Chains A and B, each alone.
Chain A
Amino acid sequence: MAMAIRIRVLLLFLFFLSLSHPTFSLYQDQVGLMDWHQQYIGKVKHAVFHTQKAGRKRVVVSTEENVIASLDLRRGEIFWRHVLGSNDTVNELDIALGKYVITLSSGGKYLRAWNLPDGQMIWESFLPGSTASRSILSIPTNLKVGKDDLILAYGSGSLYAVSSIDGEVLWTKDLASEGIDVQQLIHRHGSNIIYALGFIGSSHFATFEINAKNGELLKHDKVRFTGGFCGDISFLKSDTAVALDSTRSSLVSVRFRDGEISIEQVHISDLLLDSSGVAAILPYKLIEMVAVKVKEFIIFVKLTNEGKFVVVGQIDHTAIISDSLSILEDQQAIALIQHGDNKIQLTVKLVSDWSNHLIKETSYMDCQRGLAQRIFLNNYVRTDRSSGFRALIVMEDHSLLLVQQGEIVWSREDGLASIVEVTTSELPLEKDSVSVATVEHSLLEWLKGHVLKLKGTLMLANPDDIAAIQKLRVQSSEKSKMTRDHNGFRKLIIVLTRAGKLFALHTGDGQIVWSVLLNSLRKSQTCEAPNVLTLHQWQVPHHHALDENPSILVLGRCGPNLDSPGVYSIVDAYTGKELNSVGPFHSIVQIIPLPHTDSREQRLHLLIDKDWHAHLYPRSPEALAIFQREVGNIYWYSVEADNGILRGHAAKENCILQLPDEYCFGTRNLWSIVFPSESERIIATATRKLNEAVHTQAKVVADQDVMYKYISKNLLFIATVAPQAAGDIGSVTPDESWLVVYLVDTITGRILHRMTHYGSQGPVHAVVSENWVVYHYFNLRAHRYEMSVIEIYDQSRADNKDVLKLVLGKHNLTSAISAYTRTEVVTKQQSYFFSHSLKAISTTSTAKGITSKQLLIGTVGDQVLALDKRFLDPRRTLNPTQAEKEEGIIPLTDSLPIIPQSYVTHALKVEGLRGIVTVPAKLESTTLVFAHGVDLFFTRLAPSKTYDSLTEDFSYALLLITIVALVVAIFVTWILSERKELQEKWR
């Protein structure tokens, strides 16, 4: 027995010796175990193929997300990619000298050259100018000034000749001052003259001849056209253009040859018998031909050498046309795409021979991709030396496809680069018969996988195969199962993209479980310019209605304005099926999810229209009954940032409309806050997450004292700046800029706290959680970014600390709290310097709110940094007492530390970071983080380490061995002691 005790003591001693610090970072081999990263580029708007050389075939694209990327033409992978700034729109893209990618961006202000193989920037030129104009990039072949090949860029009203070697601006010619609105730059092969063609006013066509050597204006001509131009123009050859007159009813041919301009006009009705209505010249770069849209048709018009218009073809207006591509022997080819049911037809024709076609292929197209929107044509030489064509197609859902020989060679889901809103959904329970839509696996892939596995078992696999097998194993492992897991790590992330497509991503590996292009958000006759708004959880079954699938509410608007009619769809979260779609109906200005659900667990929503009517959804008598019962406690607020007014509202009796509608309610204005327009402008608002869990309402501070947190779901943070300081940082002096922050209770409109930061400026990013707000802004006086924290405490409950009262029940802890009670609050605040500027800010959220919080900061470098909330504690002091240290208070510093190991995204970048979403897992210590921008990134975080579970590398074997060893030790000592006892007895 004594020996056993000795062992115990020894073990205890050993255990206490081995205490050590926890770490926050992860090891290199842990990368990719619980995180995934996906790279996208966005909706392609320009594409230039580079396939001449025998090496890697590639296509260089620029997108609406301001991305320039070089893609592998064989597999669609990204060779290299650059994300330009959010307001640095790419206007033009081309390849120069066969080795540089030239981009013109920001409305013709920046000209950049990138190395084609690796994407490094070679040079950048800033082209100054103030007048806004269209931007044109022209790379003439064989036009040299000295040794430099010239690049011509027109932007901001001036023409620039730039050296392609180093980007030096050789000469500049201001053309806007001449009054010309340049439409095209033309350089004829072998000459030294550049023609700038365009309109002067609305009735003159002008040509400017410019010496390519020095930018000298040689000659300018203009001719007046009495009918006036509407602005549409297309250039057929180097000396001919076709324009539309101001009534859009006749075509005007413009020929400029040898310094003479001749104009001829032909009425469209002369070309086409039934052509009443307006025409438009489609903005495709066709050569020798022009595509004109008249009513329901697109007609192709050629101009004969005599100057006569001839209609060569006519197709349906939904067809998509490529730019013309010159192929062998000076021939021009164009591609057309026509849509059918679940298929597209690709036709390639020669311009010179319209009646025949080079290719006519029909390929199957998933209807969830919508219609084709752009097509880029490329040719190649087939094995039999004839010319083949491949086409890059941009679809309605912004995905990118390569079609060759009637097949889709590869596709990219680039709609995921423009996520508007994110929500999550639980997966079905394991026993449930409900199954999630199977992952889009083709038979071929399945076979491939099995062949690979066979290879692996037969030891025939090479390193590439082994990597592939490993990948497959990861995919088929536990974490990508389609059922709910015990820890709540497996979920569906449901994202809504700008194209109106809904994707469900699996949190395990980021695969697309289902995707659906919502019909209600597609362009139709009733909904001309659909606009996606947001996404809400509609039905989250948990208590009742467990057999139903969760569903998602998607809202949209038919038009860009607030008063445009709205639409909505309800989508099943497991299958992606559109259960219900309604609209267009009343306008949607605001969407308010109410904290009530009906018996089917459908959440009640109020949609506020532009006339301040509140419409209740779902439209069922049960929902109406719930709403009428709770109407006295339903309040909401609206922020009118333009007028600087904050208003509080409540619903009243049914609204008066022509058609009686019992689901429509009038609203009343309960309170308002008017920010004086001459001194304050609203720039940021933030509220608490509706589903945030707060574990404890009290905070025990160092001296055994208790502070009660002011926890209200109706806390609104709002930041205003001086109107003159609303611009960029540095546009004002510190004296004339200030930042005012408010904490407002949105039920009563009470300003709980108001504080002015003099000499500070936006942009402001803020996050509200529990009883605190953290916000980030720029301090002009200190020339640094700052982060401030405000914590708000409820003083009226401070007298509950008396234990006797608690025992006797004389406390107000359990009584209902009314917002109309004027609770006394105290705030504590502190500011710290922070060296980064921000793109997004968020906070971790866990299931019960016990785990300590971390701030998730989207840095300017497109990474996500986790910063302990303890650093942003207003109670930090220079020399904390022993008690405060025990509580975890860090000594006061003036700036917040950036610890390299605490980057959540470790070595990766989430390009174009826009938002960080956190979702609690079922395991209290863990939170799921999803960051989205052009790229997507997902990981699991445990802000206080995984204190409630064993890590994956826990050695169960060693545990068993230890137990067995202990048991053996006990038996041995027992036997020994028995024997000893026996011997003593025999003595």
Chain B
Amino acid sequence: MKITAYSPKSSSWILLLLTLSFLLTSSFAFQSDELLVDDEEFGLEGGSGSTPDVGSTIPARPSQPARKRSPPDFSSGSDLDSKVQFTLEHAFGDSDFSPAGTFAARVKNSPHSGQTLTKLRFSRTDFTAADKDNFKKLLEADDFYRIRIPSNLLTPPGIDYVISSVKARCLPRHGLDEHIVIHMDGVNVLAVNYGSQGACQYPRHLKFPKRWLFNSHTVLKSGEQAPRTPVFSEETAVGENGEGEGVAPPERSFWAKYWMYLLPLGLIVMNAMTQAMNMPEEQQGGGQAGSQVQQRGQSAAVRRR
């Protein structure tokens, strides 16, 4: 199952909105994307950029009776659904981790597969001036830019974090391209993989981004199920295979075993011999061509006589 929270197009659209909201310094949440159906219910502080108090993971709130509007297709199961928010933290080289963005998602309860996460949204906090300096240092030193998210989303601040890192020089393109793949097992985060969108050429060249804006792309991934082993009836399975391989042909003759070596060898020898025999013949022929003609002429003369 793959859930793409943002398509690249819409994410740039959101970036635009983000900057707008920056300018207006209003704490109004954006409503443009189709995935933001229930956006009133998400407490998205990160998007506003007002105060970076997103560091703490906000535990899931239980069921919400005061729901303003709920889509009809969710009406039955949505009472069990809850929302969860967790923080993306980053570190420059070996520095300590600090908040860098917030994920918001919906925990969906289904009777078959337990709890799963859906509707992941990500809002990235932009780099501060200090962050930019740090990042520049990373670029110069070709060092690692590291991120982490808690591994268990439902229990508040997870003890374990899943970490991922990338050489900082892989990120800058036009802006800063990032691609986050979160591997989920139910509501547990197994691993996060962080990197640039496309290729990261080696050797890595120093290149500063033109715009200090993140172009984020987030993917939730869960495992796939193994295909089932094909089951055939016994006879076809055994009869075809076991015997076809098992029957050993009787002992073969010398010729049968080594014809492939002997054949070319024989051909070569024969060719060589014929060549060797033709050579002197031709030489003889070439040398005596004139005299032969003479002789023929003579013999013709003799016959005429």
Q: Please provide the 10 A-B residue pairs with the shortest distance between their CB atoms, ordered closest to farther.
A: A18-B256, A15-B259, A820-B200, A818-B202, A676-B188, A754-B223, A673-B191, A674-B151, A831-B229, A821-B199
Q: Once the chains bind, are B170 and A820 in contact (CB under 8 Å)?
A: yes
Task: Judge if B240 is at the interface, Cβ distance under 8 Å.
Answer: yes
A817 at the interface (CB under 8 A from B): yes
B263-A15 in contact (CB<8A): yes
Name the segment of A97-105, A761-769, A963-971 touching the other chain.
A963-971
A669 adjacent to chain B (CB < 8 Å)? yes
B255 contacts A751, C-beta separation under 8 Å = no
- Indicate with 1 or 0, residue by residue over A155-178, a CB within 8 angstroms of chain B CB atoms: 000000000000000000000000
Q: B160, B224, B277: which contacts A674 (Cβ < 8 A)?
A: B160
Contact A749 B191 (CB under 8 A): yes
Min CB distance, B240 to chain A, in Å? 6
Against A, the Cβ 8 Å flags (1 = close, 0 = not) of B177-203 are 001010101101111010111111111
Quick check: is A25 within 8 A (CB to CB) of the other chain? Answer: yes
Partner-binding segment picked from B16-24, B36-44, B243-251, B293-301 = B243-251
Is the CB of A757 closer than 8 A to any CB of chain B? yes
CB distance from B172 to the nearest CB of A (A): 13
Q: Is B71 an interface residue when CB atoms closer than 8 A count as contact? A: no
**Docked pose: A954 CA to B231 CA in angstroms:** 45
Please pick, from B183, B256, B257, the residue contacting A754 in the complex, using a CB distance under 8 A. Answer: B183
Least CB distance from B201 to A in Å reads 7
A contact face: mostly helix, strand, loop, or mixed:
mixed
- Whether the pair A671, B242 counts as a contact (CB closer than 8 A) is no
Q: Smallest CB–CB gap between A97 and chain B, Å?
A: 48
Instruction: Kindly list chain B residues whose C-beta atoms are within 8 Å of the C-beta of A750.
Output: 181, 193, 195
Taking CB atoms, residues of chain B closer than 8 Å to A694 are: none
Tell me if B255 and A14 are in contact (CB < 8 A).
yes
B29 within 8 A of A: no
Q: How far is the CA of A502 from the CA of B245 in the complex (A)?
A: 42
CA separation between A19 and B144, bound complex, in Å? 62
State whether A672 touches B262 (Cβ < 8 A): no
Shortest Cβ distance from residue B24 to the other chain A in the assembled complex, whole angstroms: 36
Contacts of A679 in B (CB 8 A): 185-186, 188
- List residues of chain A with CB within 8 A of the CB of B256: 18-20
Surface stretch bound by A, among B74-82, B119-127, B161-169: B161-169
- How distant is the Cα of A756 from the Cα of B151 in the complex, in angstroms? 20
Contact status B201-A894, CB under 8 Å: no
In the complex, A83 has a CB within 8 A of chain B: no
Contacting residues of chain A (727-773) with chain B, CB-CB under 8 angstroms: 740-741, 748-751, 754-758
> Is B51 among interface residues, defined by CB-CB distance under 8 A?
no
Residues of B within 8 A of A (CB): 94, 142, 144, 146, 151-152, 160-167, 170, 179, 181, 183, 185-186, 188-191, 193, 195-204, 221, 223-232, 236-238, 240-242, 245-246, 248-249, 252-263, 265-267, 269-270, 273-274, 277
Give the residue of A829, A959, A970 whose beta carbon is less than 8 angstroms from that of B262: A959
Distance of B190 from chain A, by nearest CB (Å): 6
User: A12: nearest residue on chain B (CB-CB)?
Assistant: B263
Task: Using known A-B contacts A645-B160, A672-B163, determine if residue A893 contacts B229 with beta carbons closer than 8 Å.
Answer: no
Q: Nearest CB to that of A969 among chain B residues?
A: B270
Interchain CB contact under 8 A, B170 and A25: no
A18 and B151 contact, CB distance less than 8 A: no
Q: Is B200 in contact with A821, judged by CB distance below 8 angstroms?
A: yes
A647 to chain B, nearest CB (A): 8
A674 to B158, CA, bound (A): 11
Tell me if A850 counts as interface (CB < 8 A to partner B). no
The segment from A654-662, A857-865, A895-903 that touches chain B is: A895-903
Which of A18, A25, A786, A974 has the most chain B CB within a 10 Å cutoff? A18
Which residue of chain A lies nearest to B203 when distances are taken between CB atoms in the complex? Answer: A816
- Knowing A820-B200, A821-B200, A970-B274 are in contact, say whether A749-B164 is a contact too (CB < 8 A): yes
Partner of B223, one of A755, A898, A962: A755
Q: Could you tell me the distance between the alpha carbons of A901 and B249 in the complex, rounded to whole angstroms?
A: 13
How distant is A795 from chain B, measured CB to nearest CB, in Å?
Answer: 13
A-B contact pairs, 28 of them (CB 8 A): A12-B263, A15-B255, A18-B252, A18-B259, A21-B249, A632-B142, A668-B94, A670-B164, A674-B161, A674-B188, A674-B190, A751-B183, A754-B190, A817-B202, A818-B204, A820-B170, A820-B195, A821-B200, A821-B201, A822-B197, A822-B198, A830-B227, A833-B229, A893-B232, A893-B237, A901-B248, A959-B265, A963-B269
Extra contacts, 12 of them, besides A822-B197, A831-B226, A893-B241 (Cβ < 8 A), are A15-B259, A671-B191, A675-B190, A679-B185, A740-B223, A751-B221, A782-B231, A891-B240, A892-B230, A950-B258, A955-B254, A962-B266
Q: Which of A674, A895, A955, A970 contacts B270 (CB 8 A)?
A: A970
CA distance A893 to B231 in the complex (A): 8
Asked whether A235 is an interface residue with its Cβ less than 8 Å from the other chain, the reply is: no
CB-nearest residue of chain B relative to A831?
B229
Tell me the A residues contacting B by CB distance below 8 Å: 1, 4, 8, 11-12, 14-15, 18-21, 23-25, 632, 645, 650, 652, 668-676, 679-680, 740-741, 748-751, 754-758, 779, 782, 786, 788, 796, 815-818, 820-822, 829-833, 890-895, 897-901, 950-951, 954-955, 958-959, 962-963, 966-967, 970, 974
Distance (Å) between the CB of A905 and the closest chain B CB?
Answer: 18
Residue ID in chain A nearest B144 by CB atoms: A670
* B189 neighbours in A (Cβ, 8 Å): 674
A741–B252 CA distance with the chains assembled, in angstroms: 47
CA distance A898 to B238 in the complex (A): 10
In whole Å, how far is B1's beta carbon from the nearest beta carbon of chain A?
12
List A contacts of B255 (CB < 8 A): 14-15, 18
CB neighbours of B237 from chain A (8 A): 893-895
How far is B152's CA from A786's CA once the two chains are assembled, in angstroms?
Answer: 33
B residues near A901, Cβ cutoff 8 Å: 246, 248
A668-B94, A676-B152, A895-B237 given; A820·B166 CB < 8 A: yes
Q: Which of B167, B193, B242, B261 has the most CB of A within 10 A?
A: B193
Please report whether the interface of chain B is mostly helix, strand, loop or mixed according to DSSP. Answer: mixed
A967 with B273, Cβ < 8 A, contacts A11-B263, A23-B249, A650-B144 known: yes
A669 CB contacts on chain B under 8 angstroms: 163
Checking A676, A741, A816, A821 against B190 with a beta-carbon cut-off of 8 angstroms, the contacting residue is A676
Query: Complex: how many Å from CA A950 to CA B203?
Result: 47
Question: Considering residues B163, B170, B225, which has the most beta carbons from chain A within 10 angstroms of its beta carbon?
Answer: B163
Residue in B closest to A633 when the chains form the complex, CB atoms: B202
Query: A1: which B residues are within 8 A, CB to CB?
Result: 274
> Min CB distance, B252 to chain A, in Å?
6
Contact (A680, B198) CB under 8 Å given A672-B162, A758-B225, A950-B258: no
Q: How far is the CB of B303 from chain A (nearest CB, A)?
A: 16
Across the interface, which residues of B come within 8 angstroms of A962, CB to CB? 262, 266
B162 and A755 form a contact (CB under 8 A): no
Give CA–CA (A962, B277) in the complex, Å. Answer: 20
Q: Are B226 and A755 in contact (CB under 8 A)?
A: yes
A749 partner residues in chain B, CB cutoff 8 A: 163-164, 191, 193
A818 touches B142 (CB 8 A): no
Residue of A nearest to B91 (CB): A668
Residue from B201, B231, B261 having most chain A Cβ neighbours under 10 A: B201
User: Nearest-CB distance from B274 to chain A (Å)?
Assistant: 7
Let me know if B161 and A672 touch, CB within 8 A.
yes
C-alpha spacing A755/B165, complex, angstroms: 24
Instruction: Give the chain A neighbours of B203 by CB distance below 8 A.
Output: 816
A679 CB → nearest B CB, Å: 6
Q: How far is the CA of A639 from the CA of B84 in the complex (A)?
A: 30
State A966–B221 Cα separation when bound (angstroms): 71
Partner of A668, one of B144, B190, B249, B267: B144
Considering the chains assembled together, what is the distance between the CA atoms of A758 and B265 in angstroms?
59
User: Shortest Cβ distance from B195 into chain A, in angstroms?
Assistant: 5
Q: Please name the residue on chain A nearest to B273 by beta carbon.
A: A970
CB distance from B260 to the nearest CB of A (A): 8
A691: min CB distance to chain B, Å: 23
Are B248 and A25 interface neighbours, CB within 8 A?
yes
CB distance from A897 to the nearest CB of B (A): 4
Identity of the chain B residue whose Cβ is nearest the Cβ of A788 in the assembled complex: B226
- Are A754 and B163 touching (Cβ within 8 A)? no
